């Protein structure tokens, strides 16, 4: 040990020498001379506790102040900046172009003002929207900027109240309990004697558990009493960055000492101080440089697949426009050429000069652009925005997607990709927390090679399953529901606002609100997890063992029964669980007091707290009774007793800790110093839950283990950075001194806690972690042979149990311990401290030192924790799969666990042929791919999403990939082969993959297969995957909010994915596709009327329809119905969509909107416009009709045609549809009539006076309109009727089903189902014999490369009941 530490120190020294002088380990570093120009790479903060030297001031002035401005504009810059930004949009450039060319008299069609109208409307509308948004931001900024913070003023030598905006980097700031932290502060002092404070980061990342923060360690030791005026150091840390989980730097003290610190000492802006009276520190980053603000990105903007396609079609429209304009220009040229002399109706220009035909043609080109401008459907973009708002309204309002438990709806965070939900082809799912509940339940354990299967617990869980709905736990009669609600309301409100900002939350949760419930929520504390029914066998053993407590010193050696004790102690100690007692015990403990006094007392205290947040003076007074408060129950330095003023309140707060019914038996000589002097009415309870302890764990596994330990009487009572108190089964308290904690991370896959045993004074290291991480670190040699054998036997047995657990789908952890001498530990500690204060390579060094400690472990046992499947997961996966969606599961769990979960959620079927690829050798990968591809191809299986001819399906394949193999494949560039293989597989399961690999897989599939992908996950490790996919879905579950923050949609359960995709996705897609197609059609159909007229007006750009009516036509008369259609139309009812997931395939294949659909719509538009033009033309040919009287029936017929066209497409007529349709027609007539009645001389040259009235008095007008409309719609109507009659597409069949009565429908659906399933069942019979194991064509399989064949292996009898899953592993 000593040797290895020496070597380690050597390493360090070598690194020092080669390293950059700035980052040398600090113990021997030359003192920092402040006069030397400071390196720019670091962030220097000089304390603001006295006048600053000019050079320091210069440095400090560079840093951002704490004033935030999230507005985009200022009052003055709004107009120019906003206009500029608007002109940046392509659509607006188009408008400006039109306005510009309309300004030339040669090309002018409309009045200049009229052409400007769309531009003005669009610009003003968006400006208003921007201005409003900005004003809201401004108001919000004001609130935040003027919030009060107590800042140290060196002139007054005290903390004074200042606005947040006046806080500067270098200021000393004091934050009291429940106050929001105004800036990123380096923690220098807390009211807690242990130098810790807690903060809640829910504002930042939504995580509900408290984070412990620590005073800069070395600093706390050197300065016992913190006085800002005496602080002489300089803070040196990294430049502001957005990495929330990373922060490092050092304090350069005047005595030429450097004290390192990390993120555990940084208080983040926007977080709330909890469970700590007050804390003070120096501001290191302020305002926009704080981590919270740097993380505050704007809303996400994605383009949906449909919109991308739409944009290409818009380009087609541009092409069509170009051609039409060209025809106009050439037409003008040739038309002018047909006259031998200038006819009287071709006037010269204003200077009495006749323009040559070529120039006239050239001008005509632009005139035509102005005239036909509507062909480019700019209105489409605006309409789509509106439609999506409506669609999102309905998605978020779906009761089926609402979760009672968390009171949360589905959140749509990305506003413009709703229709992508209807086109998903691949779903990538995380396992933990997504497929499973991430409610960890302790199921089994193995101690010293003996397995305890906890049958009673299993029974309890089964019972809980049945009574799922009734989750009321008698032990927690009153959960803090209101406060939780408060919290969630704020959360979703903020999320809806689409800014994941901390400040948004701050606004929602006022400080006063929060103080009423000082402790908002405790994670992972459902009865499912907290109750563990102990195994009676194990309980007896532990009971016996506990009886030997007196002989503690003797049983410390390994091998005795104390192993059990060690095991449970390890469970209780080796974690980072924070114990809190602040909320529950009030009623229970202080039974004698009636509740009303309690309330008032609690009220007094909250009042005090509130006052405290305002005034430093009161806070300091009131901190006296609070000192021994909830967070420091076991603090050795707790004062003797509370002052008389608020005794009851104090009792209340401490009740949870002091209720231990065995105070008298507590070991007086232990270091535990509970406030036993209080004569609190105590209550002995048999139920361990009733002691009101709440465990706040960072991961649910930890909580499950602590609860399990408690079930056996090893109750974790309190944790401070330095001490852990555990109550032993017989009631005695044991307080360990914590010497160090080696935190868990995904690379090490283990964590350790180093404690000093209070009685033996031995240094004990408790380690828990993944089996792979622990097993290889076990002690290799023992003193004697039998011991050695025993160890080996235990290890082997445990390994077997682990395997068993994993096969059952349990999460496994190994528990180990190690005893070392104090000396060895101190040696190690010295190295460790060096590593801690290093700035460069700190992470590596810490890892290295940690692994030096975690060697030669002694295995204690293993645990199996169940991560229960979420409700309806198998059904959801089955539905998704029927919908043609490929489901891949990407998980970090080990292969066995993952495979078992995959089976239990039916991702893998019993009859599937499963290929497992798990090897470290590239050659093996290669040969595996070759062989499996060959085999798979032999069955001629089509990629599963393509509908194969009925009854010709071969076996289905599953693929299991190991993370490191995956990495190997990626490195070797074999991705495409892998992809090819995966296309033949029905399901793919990747286990032990890192977050980066997850996103790489998603990107690979998305880019190479050109498919729509969806990622769903709940944890921070899924963020990259969620962002990589076309649609990211976050599950707002147990693991905080990072996934939700990164997602486009957030749901609360995996099962909601089914309705979200199958129903809402389908609807949104079919609605939007219909609307987009309709918009294209509408614009072309209408504008072509003008185009056809050009052939009869000498290609001169005349419009036969009044300009205002032209504009209103698009703006008013035909705009609302398609929007309503896009929001409300429902082709198939939700029930049918859910019971026939196959219908989803239409969206996947983009059946609603293809290029053919587009062109057919355009053809139809051309046809209809021809009818709308030529029927009136022929009817009025040769008559004395004038230009605008001629246009009126065309306009009217066109309106009817266009609206009725939509009516044919509308599949569900609700009241809204009727109102809008009839309203549009009425609006047209009202406006047209009143306009032509009122406008006598206006609107040159159309002068529509009395034209409409005149026409409407003429029967021919109606005859023409009716004939035109009927003739125009006849083809489409006939087509739709034939489609509806022949019912070739499943969508139409489903619609027909919808029309039937529910009973008939259900039976028909069942019939449909049966048809499908029989066609699926056929392969069993037609299956050609699968390869026999060991046949010559068999792939060469090596160790670790297994070919699992399930069910179908019995080739001799294809009808054999192959449902018993058996695994044959071939090794050649």
Partner 1 sequence: MKSQQAANRPDNTAFTQQRLPAWQPMLSAHFVIPGFLLIGMAFIGIGVALYITSQNIQVLEKDYTGTGQYTACSECADMQTIPCICNVTFSLTTLFTGPVFLYYGLSNYYQNYRKYQVSRDDVQLWGDVTKSPGDACAPYQYIDNKPIAPCGSIANSMFNDTFSLYQIINGTMKLVPLDGKGIAWWTDYNIKFRNPSAQGSLQDAFNGTMKPVNWSKPAYELNPSDMNDNGFLNQDFLVWMRTAALPDFQKLYRRITSGDYALGLPPGDYVLQIEYNYAVKDFGRKKVVFSNVTWMGGKNEFLGVAYIVVGSLCLVMSVVMLVVYAKYKFADENA
Chain residues 335-394 in contact with partner 1, contact rule CB under 8 A: 339-341, 343-352, 367, 394
Task: Work out which of 79, 1216, 1304, 1326 binds partner 1, going by CB under 8 A.
Answer: 1216
Query: 1126-1145 mask for partner 1 (x: CB under 8 A)?
Result: --x-x---x-----------
Q: Rounded to whole angstroms, how far apart are CA atoms 880 and 888?
A: 11
User: Cβ of residue 1262: shortest distance to partner 1, in angstroms?
Assistant: 10
Give the phi and the psi of residue 1227 in degrees, each rounded to 5. -55, -40
Task: Work out which of 488, 516, 621, 1309 binds partner 1, going by CB under 8 A.
Answer: 488
Task: Work out which of 241, 1247, 1319, 1360 binds partner 1, going by CB under 8 A.
Answer: 1247
Q: Rounded to whole angstroms, how far apart are CA atoms 937 and 920?
A: 25
CB burial readout 1313-1333, b (16+ within 10 A) else e? eeeeeeeeeebbeeeeebbee
Based on the shown chain and the rule CB under 8 A, indicate whether residue 328 belongs to the binding site for partner 1: no
Closest C-alpha to 602, from 694, 519, 481: 519
CB atoms within 10 A of CB 565: 24
The interface region with partner 1, picked from 567-575, 635-643, 807-815, 1174-1182 by CB under 8 A, is: 1174-1182
Residue number, 686 or 1299, with CB nearest to partner 1: 1299
The interface region with partner 1, picked from 206-214, 334-342, 814-822, 879-887 by CB under 8 A, is: 334-342
The interface region with partner 1, picked from 118-126, 486-494, 504-512, 591-599 by CB under 8 A, is: 486-494
Give the phi and the psi of residue 1045 in degrees, each rounded to 5. -60, -35
Residue number, 624 or 1308, with CB nearest to partner 1: 1308
Distances (CA, A) of 1328 to 786, 906, 946, 1322: 56, 25, 21, 12
Choice among 134, 171, 430, 650 that is catalytic: 430
Which residues 6+ apart lie within 8 Å of 222 measured at CB?
253, 257, 259
User: Cβ of residue 1256: shortest distance to partner 1, in angstroms?
Assistant: 14
Residue number, 245 or 1241, with CB nearest to partner 1: 1241
User: Cβ of residue 583: shortest distance to partner 1, in angstroms?
Assistant: 18
The DSSP annotation for 917-959 comes to: E--S-HHHHHHHHHHHHHHHHHTTPPPTTSPPPTT-----EEE
Q: Rounded to whole angstroms, how far apart are CA atoms 491 and 500?
A: 10
Query: 1081-1120 mask for partner 1 (x: CB under 8 A)?
Result: ---------------xxx-xxx-x----------------
Q: Rounded to whole angstroms, how far apart are CA atoms 805 and 862?
A: 10
Q: Rounded to whole angstroms, how far apart are CA atoms 180 and 177?
A: 9
User: Cβ of residue 1211: shortest distance to partner 1, in angstroms?
Assistant: 6
The interface region with partner 1, picked from 505-513, 787-795, 913-921, 1243-1251 by CB under 8 A, is: 1243-1251
Residue number, 133 or 1253, with CB nearest to partner 1: 1253
Based on the shown chain and the rule CB under 8 A, indicate whether residue 1154 belongs to the binding site for partner 1: no
Which residues 6+ apart lie within 8 Å of 1257 measured at CB?
none
Residue number, 152 or 1235, with CB nearest to partner 1: 1235
Our answer to whether residue 650 is catalytic in this structure is: no
Which residues 6+ apart lie within 8 Å of 150 measured at CB?
159, 160, 161, 162, 173, 174, 175, 176, 616
Residue number, 974 or 1260, with CB nearest to partner 1: 1260
Q: Which of residues 1294-1353 bind partner 1 (CB under 8 A)?
A: 1295-1296, 1298-1299
Based on the shown chain and the rule CB under 8 A, indicate whether residue 510 belongs to the binding site for partner 1: no
Based on the shown chain and the rule CB under 8 A, indicate whether residue 1189 belongs to the binding site for partner 1: yes
Based on the shown chain and the rule CB under 8 A, indicate whether residue 492 belongs to the binding site for partner 1: yes
Residue number, 1057 or 1175, with CB nearest to partner 1: 1175
Q: How many residues bind partner 1 (CB under 8 A)?
A: 95
Q: Rounded to whole angstroms, how far apart are CA atoms 636 and 150?
A: 30
The interface region with partner 1, picked from 527-535, 728-736, 864-872, 1248-1256 by CB under 8 A, is: 1248-1256
User: Cβ of residue 1210: shortest distance to partner 1, in angstroms?
Assistant: 9
Whose tokens are 């304390």? That residue is: 47
Q: Which of residues 20-59 bind partner 1 (CB under 8 A)?
A: none
Q: Which of residues 1221-1240 bind partner 1 (CB under 8 A)?
A: 1240
Residue number, 1096 or 1159, with CB nearest to partner 1: 1096
Question: Can you tell me whether residue 1296 is helix, strand or coil?
Answer: helix
958 phi-psi bin (left φ>0, alpha ψ -120 to 50, beta other): beta
Q: Which of residues 1196-1215 bind partner 1 (CB under 8 A)?
A: 1208, 1211-1215
User: Cβ of residue 50: shortest distance to partner 1, in angstroms?
Assistant: 51
Q: Rounded to whole angstroms, how far apart are CA atoms 792 and 769?
A: 19
Distances (CA, A) of 390 to 220, 384, 1125: 56, 10, 11
Which residues 6+ apart lie within 8 Å of 708 measured at CB?
442, 445, 532, 571, 863
The interface region with partner 1, picked from 72-80, 307-315, 333-341, 1226-1234 by CB under 8 A, is: 333-341
Please tell me what DSSP assigns to residue 733.
E
Helices 305-337 and 1066-1094 pack at an angle, to 10 degrees, of: 0
Task: Work out which of 1185, 1232, 1252, 1345 binds partner 1, going by CB under 8 A.
Answer: 1185
Based on the shown chain and the rule CB under 8 A, indicate whether residue 1173 belongs to the binding site for partner 1: no
Task: Work out which of 94, 1167, 1177, 1312 binds partner 1, going by CB under 8 A.
Answer: 1177
Based on the shown chain and the rule CB under 8 A, indicate whether residue 1258 belongs to the binding site for partner 1: yes
Task: Work out which of 389, 1260, 1308, 1327 binds partner 1, going by CB under 8 A.
Answer: 1260
Which residues 6+ apart lie within 8 Å of 101 measured at CB?
107, 366, 369, 370
Based on the shown chain and the rule CB under 8 A, indicate whether residue 1178 belongs to the binding site for partner 1: yes
Q: Are 287 and 65 in contact (CB under 8 A)?
A: yes
Q: Rounded to whole angstroms, how far apart are CA atoms 712 and 222?
A: 42
Q: Are 613 and 178 in contact (CB under 8 A)?
A: yes
Torsion of CA 383, 384, 388, 390, to 10 degrees: 20
Residue number, 801 or 1064, with CB nearest to partner 1: 1064
Residue number, 194 or 1168, with CB nearest to partner 1: 1168
User: Cβ of residue 1270: shortest distance to partner 1, in angstroms?
Assistant: 6
Based on the shown chain and the rule CB under 8 A, indicate whether residue 1241 belongs to the binding site for partner 1: yes
Q: Is the peptide bond before 1212 cis (omega within 30 degrees of 0)?
A: no
* Alpha carbon 479 to its chain's center: 27
Q: Which of residues 1045-1074 bind partner 1 (CB under 8 A)?
A: 1067
Query: 912-931 mask for partner 1 (x: CB under 8 A)?
Result: --------------------
Whose tokens are 């392509």? That residue is: 90
Task: Work out which of 1278, 1366, 1369, 1371 binds partner 1, going by CB under 8 A.
Answer: 1278
Torsion of CA 542, 546, 552, 555, to 10 degrees: -30
Task: Work out which of 41, 315, 1281, 1372 binds partner 1, going by CB under 8 A.
Answer: 1281
User: Cβ of residue 430: shortest distance to partner 1, in angstroms?
Assistant: 25
User: Cβ of residue 1098: shortest distance to partner 1, in angstroms?
Assistant: 5
The interface region with partner 1, picked from 9-17, 1161-1169, 1181-1189, 1357-1365 by CB under 8 A, is: 1181-1189
Q: Are 1071 and 890 in contact (CB under 8 A)?
A: no
Helices 562-573 and 536-547 pack at an angle, to 10 degrees, of: 100
User: Cβ of residue 1142: shortest distance to partner 1, in angstroms?
Assistant: 18
Task: Work out which of 482, 553, 591, 661 binds partner 1, going by CB under 8 A.
Answer: 482
Residues acting as catalytic residues: 430
């Amino acid at each position: 040990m000593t040797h290895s530490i020496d070597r380690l120190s050597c390493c360090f020294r070598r690194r020092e020498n080669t390293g950059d002088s700035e980052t040398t380990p600090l113990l021997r570093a030359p003192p920092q001379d402040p006069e030397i120009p400071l390196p720019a790479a670091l962030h220097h903060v000089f304390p603001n506790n006295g006048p600053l030297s000019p050079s320091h001031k210069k440095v400090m002035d560079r840093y951002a102040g704490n004033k935030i401005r999230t507005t985009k504009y200022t009052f003055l810059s709004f107009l120019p900046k906003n206009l500029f930004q608007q002109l940046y949009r392509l659509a607006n450039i188009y408008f400006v172009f039109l306005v510009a060319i309309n300004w030339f008299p040669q090309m002018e069609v409309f009045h200049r003002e009229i052409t400007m109208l769309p531009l003005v409307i669009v610009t003003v509308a968006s400006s208003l929207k921007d201005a409003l948004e900005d004003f809201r931001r401004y108001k919000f900024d004001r609130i935040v900027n003027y919030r009060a913070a107590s800042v140290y003023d060196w002139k007054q030598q005290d903390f004074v109240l200042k606005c947040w905006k006046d806080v500067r980097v270098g200021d000393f700031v004091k934050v009291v309990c429940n106050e929001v932290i105004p800036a990123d502060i380096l923690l220098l002092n807390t009211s807690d004697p242990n130098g810790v404070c807690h903060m809640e980061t829910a504002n930042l990342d939504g995580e509900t558990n408290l984070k412990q923060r620590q005073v800069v360690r070395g600093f706390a030791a050197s300065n016992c009493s913190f006085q800002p005026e005496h602080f002489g150091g300089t803070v040196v840390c990294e430049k502001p960055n957005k990495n929330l989980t990373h922060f490092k730097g050092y304090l350069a003290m005047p005595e030429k000492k450097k004290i390192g610190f990390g993120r555990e000492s940084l208080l983040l802006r926007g977080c709330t101080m909890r469970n700590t009276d007050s804390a003070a520190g120096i501001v290191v980053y302020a305002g926009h440089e704080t981590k919270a603000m740097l993380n505050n990105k704007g809303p996400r903007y994605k383009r949906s697949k449909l919109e991308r396609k739409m944009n290409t079609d818009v380009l087609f429209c541009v092409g069509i426009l170009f051609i039409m304009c060209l025809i106009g220009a050439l037409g003008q040229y040739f038309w002018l050429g047909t006259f031998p002399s200038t006819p009287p109706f071709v006037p010269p220009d204003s200077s009495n000069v006749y323009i040559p035909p070529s120039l006239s043609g050239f001008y005509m080109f632009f005139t035509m652009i102005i005239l036909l401008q509507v062909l480019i459907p700019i209105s489409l973009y605006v309409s789509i925005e509106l439609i999506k708002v409506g669609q999102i309204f309905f998605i978020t309002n779906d009761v089926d997607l609402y979760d009672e438990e968390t009171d949360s709806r589905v959140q749509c965070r990305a506003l413009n990709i709703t229709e992508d939900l209807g086109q998903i082809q691949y779903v990538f799912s995380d396992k933990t927390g997504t497929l499973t509940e991430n409610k960890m339940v302790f199921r089994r354990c193995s101690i010293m090679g003996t397995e305890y299967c906890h049958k009673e617990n299993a029974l309890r869980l089964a019972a809980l399953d049945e009574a799922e709905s009734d989750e009321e736990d008698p032990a927690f009669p009153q959960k803090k529901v209101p406060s939780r609600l408060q919290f969630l309301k704020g959360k979703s409100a903020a999320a809806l606002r689409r800014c994941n900002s901390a400040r948004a939350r701050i606004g929602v949760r006022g400080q006063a609100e929060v103080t009423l419930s000082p402790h908002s929520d405790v994670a992972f504390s459902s009865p499912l997890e907290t109750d563990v029914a102990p195994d009676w066998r194990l309980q007896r053993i532990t009971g016996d063992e506990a009886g030997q407590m007196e002989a503690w010193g003797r049983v410390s050696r390994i091998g005795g029964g104390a192993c059990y004790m060690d095991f449970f102690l390890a469970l209780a100690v080796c974690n980072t669980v924070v114990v809190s007692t602040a909320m529950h015990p009030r009623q229970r403990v202080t039974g004698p007091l009636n509740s009303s006094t309690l309330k008032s007392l609690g009220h007094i205290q909250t009042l005090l707290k509130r006052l405290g947040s305002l005034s430093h003076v009161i806070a300091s007074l009131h901190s006296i009774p609070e000192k021994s408060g909830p967070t420091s129950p076991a603090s050795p330095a707790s004062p003797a007793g509370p002052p008389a003023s608020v005794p009851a309140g104090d009792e209340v707060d401490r009740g949870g800790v002091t209720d231990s019914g065995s105070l008298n038996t507590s070991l007086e000589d232990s270091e535990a110093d509970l406030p036993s002097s209080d004569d609190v009415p105590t209550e002995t309870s048999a139920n361990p839950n009733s002691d009101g302890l709440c465990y706040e764990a960072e991961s649910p596994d930890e909580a499950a283990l602590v609860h399990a330990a408690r079930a056996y009487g090893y109750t974790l009572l309190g944790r401070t950075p330095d001490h852990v108190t555990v109550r032993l089964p017989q009631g005695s308290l044991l307080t360990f001194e914590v010497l160090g904690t080696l935190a868990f991370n995904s690379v090490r896959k283990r964590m350790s806690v180093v404690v000093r045993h209070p009685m033996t004074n031995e240094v004990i290291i408790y380690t828990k972690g993944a089996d792979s991480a622990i097993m290889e670190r076990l002690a290799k040699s023992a003193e004697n042979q039998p011991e050695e054998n025993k160890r080996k036997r235990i290890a082997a047995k445990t390994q077997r149990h682990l395997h068993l657990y994993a096969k059952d789908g349990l999460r496994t952890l190994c528990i180990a311990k190690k005893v070392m001498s104090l000396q060895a530990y101190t040696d190690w500690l010295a190295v460790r401290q060096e590593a801690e204060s290093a700035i460069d390579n700190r992470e590596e060094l810490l890892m290295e030192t940690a692994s030096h400690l975690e060697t030669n472990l002694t295995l204690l046992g293993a645990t199996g924790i169940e991560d229960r499947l979420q409700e309806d997961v198998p059904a959801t996966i089955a539905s998704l799969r029927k919908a043609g969606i490929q489901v891949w599961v990407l998980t970090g769990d080990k292969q066995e666990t993952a495979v078992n979960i995959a089976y239990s959620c039916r991702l893998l079927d019993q009859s599937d042929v499963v290929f497992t690829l798990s090897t470290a050798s590239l050659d093996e990968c290669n040969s595996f791919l070759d062989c499996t591809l060959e085999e798979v191809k032999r069955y001629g299986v089509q990629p599963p999403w393509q509908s194969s001819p009925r009854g010709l399906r071969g076996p289905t394949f599953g693929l299991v990939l190991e993370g490191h193999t995956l990495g190997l494949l990626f490195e070797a560039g074999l991705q495409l082969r892998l992809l090819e293989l995966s296309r033949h597989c029905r399901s793919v399961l990747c286990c032990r993959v890192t977050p980066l690999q997850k996103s790489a897989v998603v990107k690979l599939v998305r880019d190479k297969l050109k498919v729509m992908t969806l990622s769903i996950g709940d944890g921070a490790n899924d963020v990259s995957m969620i962002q990589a996919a076309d649609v990211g879905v976050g599950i707002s579950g147990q693991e905080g909010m990072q996934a939700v923050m990164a997602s486009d949609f957030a749901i609360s359960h995996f099962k909601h994915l089914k309705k979200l995709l199958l129903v809402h996705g389908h609807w949104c897609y079919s609605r939007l596709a219909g609307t987009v197609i309709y918009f294209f059609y509408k614009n072309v159909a209408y504008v072509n009327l003008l185009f056809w007229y050009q052939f009869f007006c000498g290609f001169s750009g005349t419009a036969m329809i009044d300009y205002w009516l032209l504009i209103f036509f698009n703006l008013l008369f035909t705009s609302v119905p398609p929007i309503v259609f896009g929001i409300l139309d429902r082709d198939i009812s939700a029930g049918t969509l859910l019971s026939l997931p196959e219908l989803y395939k239409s969206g996947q294949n983009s059946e609603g909107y293809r290029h053919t659909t587009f062109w057919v719509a355009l053809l139809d538009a051309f046809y209809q416009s021809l009818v709308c033009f030529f029927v009136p033309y022929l009817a009025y040919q040769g008559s004395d009709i004038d230009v605008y009287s001629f246009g009126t029936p065309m306009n009217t017929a066109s309106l009817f045609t266009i609206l009725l066209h939509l009516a044919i497409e509308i599949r569900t007529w609700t009241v809204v549809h009727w109102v809008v349709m009839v309203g549009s027609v009425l609006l047209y007539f009202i406006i047209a009539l009143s306009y032509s009645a009122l406008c006598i001389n206006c609107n040159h040259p159309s002068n529509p006076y009395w034209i409409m009235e005149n026409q409407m008095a003429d029967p021919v007008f109606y005859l023409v309109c009716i004939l035109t409309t009927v003739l125009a719609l006849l083809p489409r109507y006939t087509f739709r009727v034939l489609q509806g009659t022949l019912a070739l597409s499943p969508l139409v069949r489903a619609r027909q089903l919808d029309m039937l009565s529910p009973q008939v429908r259900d039976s028909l659906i069942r019939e449909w189902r049966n048809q499908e399933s029989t066609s699926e069942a056929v392969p069993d019979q037609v299956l050609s014999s699968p390869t026999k194991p060991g046949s010559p064509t068999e792939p060469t399989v090596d160790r670790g490369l297994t070919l699992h064949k399930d069910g179908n292996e019995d080739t001799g009898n294809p009808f054999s009941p192959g449902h018993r899953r058996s695994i044959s592993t071939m090794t050649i």
